[in-house]
Amino acid sequence: MTEDIASLPIVRPEHPEEDPLLDLNPHLVADWLVKFLQDECVRKRGISRAVIGLSGGVDSAVTTYLCARAFAPENTFVFRMPYTISSPESFAHAQLVIDELGLPDRTIDITAMADGYLTQFEDDASATRIGNVCARCRMIVLFDQSAKLRALPIGTGNKTERMFGYFTWHADDAPPINPLGDLYKTQVWRLAEHLGVPEVIIQKPPTADLVKGQTDEGDFGISYRRADRILCRLLAGWTPEQLIEFGFDKNDVEIVRRRVATTHWKRHLPTVAMLSDSAINEFYLRPVDY
Amino acid sequence: MGGAQPYRAGKLPAVRFTAAAVQIAPQKGDVAANLGRIADAAIRSSSEGADLVVFPETSTSGYFLQGGVADAALTTDSLAGELSGRLRELTRPLDVILGFYERADEGFYNSAAHLACTASGCEVVHLHRKFFLPTYGVFDEERFVTRGGHIGSYRCRFGDFAILICEDIWHSISATIAALSGAEALVAISASPARGFAGDNIENLERYERLLRSISEEHGVWTINSMLVGFEGGKGFTGGSMIVDPLGRVVARGPTAQEHMLMAEVDMNEVARARAASPLLSDLKCSTLEIIRLLKAAAREE
């Protein structure tokens, strides 16, 4: 080999710490989501107030920051809805957001509401069932407060938990407007950093806060960062075999695949028996904003 | 000059005119309200000096209608009639190109009409029916509208034009056919829902810029592009309309995701100058018959 060829500089693709498939420009996304909120709520529905359940986690914090930009802080009404076993830390983290943005807030303890059913009729309910009852109580509060305040409830679910079915059907997913639902959890963290969400909220392990010490990642058996790298490729058409061949752990791939494959029903409206050629959403097709 | 077309008799002298491209967010399915806003914007564009005003794909109704296409579709004659009644305040001629869902005897189309309008009415100059109907992912057009059957140029008072709608633009062969058939200006209208937020700008809008600039510089044509804005069921249309000169330079650009009226001077003399400097279209014309032979062979091989 000649010396000039031997010393030819080589350029290779960079391997950034973040997965390029999950890359996003947080400035561009934030601007777009603010426009989305304004367009869907104000232009389309004539409603310029938002109601959000503020849990102390990163998803509802990011949603709140976006709404404060879209509608102004004074029109962004946040509600803390603790149950008897909710973590005081979550409550305190929500306070950081309230103080930082100067938001109108209210705390509505749902213990009496949930226990009116649970302790009276179902005192041996499992943690999962209690969690579902709480989520559905919170949904009732948010929708009623929205009616009272002439506001729209804004959803906070991200794409990872939607794809994993990690939510309570017709509860967390019920609000008519959701700005984060097409962003993976990893991307929500990026957006949170850009928006200035308090660091402690971004850094803490995500939790549904239903059982002491519970974390989302503990429930899944895989971290969000590893799951998102697999998930985004599954959705782009990679097969599990290709993912394993690429270098992902076989168990991780199976966790993600199974979560997605067993929860399609949660991403749809109820199954309706079709009897005619004008069945709604089968033959009779009109978009949601028609 | 084996495959070159003969001299085209009656060619108009090159003119200069002012073009406007209006980015609007239609009210979903409310055709009367949208026609009112389109007419108001047309009159405003004329008062600002426009000779031609271009509105986006499906600007009379919004894009994602599903079965609502049947409710919102207009015949071309009724579209011309509806606009005629709303443009009586025009003080000088104005050509209007706009996208709409078309009702025809044989079905529905995603179409664009070129109307020559004055205070006394609008006449149809040309109708283009979208040739490439996206039916994948978020798009479902072929379920609700019928594929158009023609791409080609037509003559208007500014010169030889062609209209392309959205996916028509994404196939380089559409612009090639339009340019080969004589078009010196392409009107490219679109409703493009934003996706891809990793880069400096929205990914499909960046793609549009590459496409439009590439079309203009390859064929030496003006490209006048008008993009829908507004959100429909969470899907936000990009805006970012562009007017591109025959050298492939963006001479005017609209903002992203905001209603806007974009205006630029269009000098059709630029076409001849660009084509003299870069005679790619002439080279293509000389090879047309060979290219047709190759296309037929490629289709047979498939």
Three-class secondary structure assignment of A90-147: HHHHHHHHHHHHCCCEEECCCHHHHHHHHHHHCCCCCHHHHHHHHHHHHHHHHHHHHH
> Over 70: is that where the pLDDT of B117 sits?
yes
Contact A29 B197 (CB under 8 A): yes
Check CB contact of A290 with chain B, cutoff 8 Å.
yes
Indicate the residue of A25, A32, A35 with minimum beta-carbon distance to B198. Answer: A25
Whether residue A16 has pLDDT greater than 60: no
pLDDT over 70, % of chain A:
98
DSSP bridge pairs for A281 = none
- Closest approach of A150 to chain B, Cα-based (Å): 21
Chain B partners within 8 Å of A286 (Cβ)? 65-68
Q: Where are the beta strands (DSSP E) in B66-139?
A: 94-104, 107-118, 121-129
Which residue among B65, B194, B236 places its CB closest to the CB of A287?
B65
In the numeric block, the tokens 């950093």 are attached to A193
Min Cα–Cα distance to chain B from A171, Å: 20
Give B2's pLDDT tier (boundaries 50, 70, 90): very low
CA–CA min distance B204, chain A (Å): 14
Q: Which one has a higher pLDDT value, A12 or A241?
A: A241
Distance CA B141, CA A161 (A): 31
Q: Which CATH class is domain B17-301?
A: alpha beta
Q: How many degrees, rounded to 5, is the angle at CA B160 between CA B159 and CA B161?
A: 115
Report whether A66 contacts A179 (CB < 8 A): yes
Q: How is chain B split into domains, by residue range?
A: 17-301
Q: Mind listing the pLDDT tens digit for each residue in B214-250?
A: 999 999 999 999 999 999 999 999 999 999 999 999 9
What's the gap in Å between the CA of B177 and the closest CA on chain A? 33
Q: Can you give the pLDDT at residue B76?
A: 98
Q: What's the rounded Cα separation, in Å, for the pair A91 and A237?
A: 40
Q: What value does the mean pLDDT take over residues A63-92?
A: 96
When CB atoms are compared, the residue of B194, B201, B232 closest to A289 is B232
pLDDT value of position B170: 97
Which run of H or E residues covers position B159? Answer: strand B159-165
Q: B202 vs A290: CB contact, 8 Å cut-off?
A: no
Tell how strand B242-244 and strand B222-227 pair up.
Answer: antiparallel
Query: Which pLDDT score is estimated for B7?
Result: 57
CB contacts under 8 A, B 170-199 vs A, are 194, 197-199
Q: Please, which residues have CB within 8 angstroms of residue A61's CB and are 6 or more apart in sequence?
A: A54, A93, A94, A97, A192, A197, A198, A201
Taking CA–CA distances from A42, the nearest residue in chain B reads B231
Confidence of residue A17 (pLDDT cuts 50, 70, 90): low
The confidence score (pLDDT) of residue B302 equals 62
Asked if A32 has any chain B CB less than 8 Å from its own CB, the reply is yes
pLDDT of residue B10: 64
pLDDT > 80? residue A84: yes
What confidence category does residue B3 fall into, taking pLDDT thresholds of 50, 70 and 90? very low
Domains for chain A: give ranges and CATH numbers: 20-208 (3.40.50.620)
Determine the distance in angstroms separating the CA of A10 from the nearest CA of chain B, rounded to an integer: 25
Chain B, window 219-238: residues with a beta carbon less than 8 angstroms from a chain A beta carbon? 230-234, 236
Whole-Å CA distances, B101 to A260, A286, B126, B174, B228: 38, 15, 15, 21, 14
The Cα–Cα gap between B301 and A148 comes to 67
* Average of per-residue pLDDT across B289-302: 90
Would the CA dihedral through B129, B130, B132, B133 be positive or negative?
A: negative
Interchain CB distance below 8 Å, B68 and A286: yes
Residue of A27, A35, A277 to mutate, interface with B, max B Cβ within 10 Å: A35
- The whole-angstrom separation of Cα A160 and Cα A59 is 11
Residues whose CB is less than 8 angstroms from the CB of residue B171 and which lie 6 or more positions away in sequence, other chains included: B132
- Across the interface, whether the CB atoms of B68 and A288 are under 8 A apart is answered no
Decide if B36 touches A, using CB distance below 8 A: no
**Whether B231 and A40 lie within 8 Å, measured CB to CB:** yes
A39 close to B (CB below 8 A): yes
Q: Which of B106, B116, B117, B113 has its CA nearest to residue B163?
A: B113
pLDDT of residue B82 exceeding 50:
yes
What's the rounded mean pLDDT across residues B38-55?
98
Residue A173 pLDDT = 95
Which residues, listed in sequence order, are joined to residue B161 by a DSSP beta bridge?
A: B154, B185
Residue B255, min C-alpha distance to chain A (Å): 13
- What is the C-alpha separation between B245 and B216, in angstroms, rounded? 7
Residue matched to tokens 């409830």: A153
- The mean of the pLDDT values for chain A is 95
User: Higher model confidence: residue A218 or residue A183?
Assistant: A183
Across the A:B interface, residue pairs with CB atoms under 8 Å apart total 57
Contact B233 A289 (CB under 8 A): yes
Residue A210: pLDDT band with limits 50, 70, 90: confident
Residue A285 contacts B where some CB pair is shorter than 8 Å: yes
Give the pLDDT confidence score for residue B9 in this predicted structure. Answer: 61
CB-based contact A287 B230, cutoff 8 Å: no
Region A75-87: what's the mean pLDDT? 96
| Antiparallel, parallel or unpaired: β B94-104 and B52-54 | parallel
- Which chain B residues are Cβ-neighbours of A25 within 8 angstroms? 197-200
CA distance B87 to B91: 9
Q: Which has the closest alpha carbon to A267: A196, A193, A163, A119?
A: A163
Tell whether the torsion through CA atoms of A39, A101, B196 and A177 is positive or negative: negative
Instruction: Flag if A287 and B202 touch (Cβ within 8 Å).
Output: no
Beta strand B121-129 with B107-118 is antiparallel
- List pLDDT tens digits, range B259-294: 999 999 999 999 999 999 999 999 999 999 999 999
B29 part of contact set with chain A, CB < 8 Å: yes
Are residues A32 and B197, on separate chains, in Cβ contact within 8 Å?
yes
